Amino acid sequence: MVKYKTREEVEIIKESAQILGKAHGEVAKLIKPGVTTLELDRVAEEFIKDHGGSPSFKNFNGFPSSLCISLNENVVHGFPSDYELREGDIISVDCGVFYKSFHSDSAYTYPVGKVTAEVKQLLQVTKESLHKGIEKAVFGNRIGDVAYAIQNHVESFGFGIVRELVGHGLGRDLHESPEVPNYGKRGKGPVMKEGLVIAIEPMINMGTRKVVQEADGWTIRTADRQPSAHFEHTVAVFKEGTEVLTTHKFIEENIKF
């Protein structure tokens, strides 16, 4: 059952999303060779708590950290660790903030120093596909319109679209209906109505779309161990227009690719 949000509830999610965006910005300042992913997690958690929120992911179904940190061939749900970032890595940082009883959720994949032209293209195309999906997340359209827009863009470059993991509704709960796949058919799926809040999050692989779960029970990686990228925004749908609630502004003040 989809839980539609009032204007007042969306404003609270937007407040949550501002804390989230600024936490991402603090992480972005640190992305360079030699920094441990545990340090990124510590900085994000401190920032969120200092600004009145709490990390959505920490202890969610037993997840141990504030950030999902997924490196290179890892798609999503990786753990922060003592691993030191290296030149040429890519790192997906996925974070959520719980604030005044509502969640926000966003992700960004960073290059660490210089990356190959192929990896840079993967990042660019994945980010573009997020915005292609958002363009179709409008009142009266269907979820399949969002999914098709992402799929059509990504597959034109020959990349693989992860199918086992999808975007989702969110609000008082971190994961709500409806599911938002990154592949599908136009005109199919639930109709997007007034007050719908969803997280759109393309997870795109350089090679095969197939993924496996690591022995830790959380980390998802590509089956062929080629790199994967992940970008995410939380958006709200209204009759007069769709609003992107989360922001990558504070990230992109600190890092460009």
Count CA atoms within 13 Å of residue 216 on its CB side.
14
Structure confidence at residue 84 (pLDDT) = 98
Nearest 5°: phi and psi at 68?
A: -90, 120
Average pLDDT over the chain, rounded to an integer? 97
Tell me how far apart the terminal alpha carbons of the chain are, to the nearest angstrom. Answer: 39
Question: Is the peptide bond between 178 and the residue preceding it cis, with omega within 30 degrees of 0?
Answer: yes
Mean pLDDT over 163-176 rounds to: 98
Q: Which domains, ranges and CATH numbers included, belong to the chain?
A: 7-252 (3.90.230.10)
Residue (of 5, 7, 162) closest to 76 by Cα position? 162
Asked if 190 and 142 touch (Cβ cutoff 8 Å), the reply is: yes
pLDDT over 90 percentage in the chain: 98
170-218: pLDDT as tens digits: 999 999 999 999 999 999 999 999 999 999 999 999 999 999 999 999 9
Instruction: State the amino acid at position 88 in one-letter form.
Output: G
Structure confidence at residue 257 (pLDDT) = 72
Is residue 44 scored above 90 in pLDDT? Answer: yes
Determine the Cα–Cα distance for residues 193 and 186; give it in Å rounded to an integer.
16
Helix axes 117-135, 143-155, angle to 10 degrees: 160
Is residue 224 scored above 90 in pLDDT? Answer: yes
Determine the Cα–Cα distance for residues 148 and 181; give it in Å rounded to an integer.
9
Is residue 107 scored above 80 in pLDDT? Answer: yes
Nearest 5°: phi and psi at 165?
A: -125, 140
**β 241-244/233-238 pair status:** antiparallel
Structure confidence at residue 31 (pLDDT) = 97
Is residue 112 scored above 90 in pLDDT? Answer: yes
Q: Given pLDDT bands bounded at 50, 70 and 90, which one contains residue 25?
A: very high
Mean pLDDT over 62-70 rounds to: 96
Mean pLDDT over 47-72 rounds to: 97
- Strand ranges in the chain using DSSP code E only, listed in sequence order: 54-55, 67-71, 74-76, 90-99, 102-111, 160-161, 167-169, 176-180, 196-200, 203-205, 211-213, 220-222, 228-230, 233-238, 241-244
Q: Given pLDDT bands bounded at 50, 70 and 90, which one contains residue 254?
A: confident
Quick one: 243 exposed, middle or buried, by C-beta within 10 A (0-12, 13-18, 19+)? middle
Mean pLDDT over 125-149 rounds to: 98
Q: Given pLDDT bands bounded at 50, 70 and 90, which one contains residue 251?
A: very high
Helix axes 7-28, 37-50, angle to 10 degrees: 140
* Predicted model pTM: 0.96
Structure confidence at residue 24 (pLDDT) = 98
Q: Given pLDDT bands bounded at 50, 70 and 90, which one contains residue 256?
A: confident
Q: Given pLDDT bands bounded at 50, 70 and 90, which one contains residue 18?
A: very high
Structure confidence at residue 255 (pLDDT) = 83
The 3-class SS string of 182-231 reads CCCCCCCCCECCCCEEEEECCEEECCCCCEEECCCCCCEEECCCCCEEEC
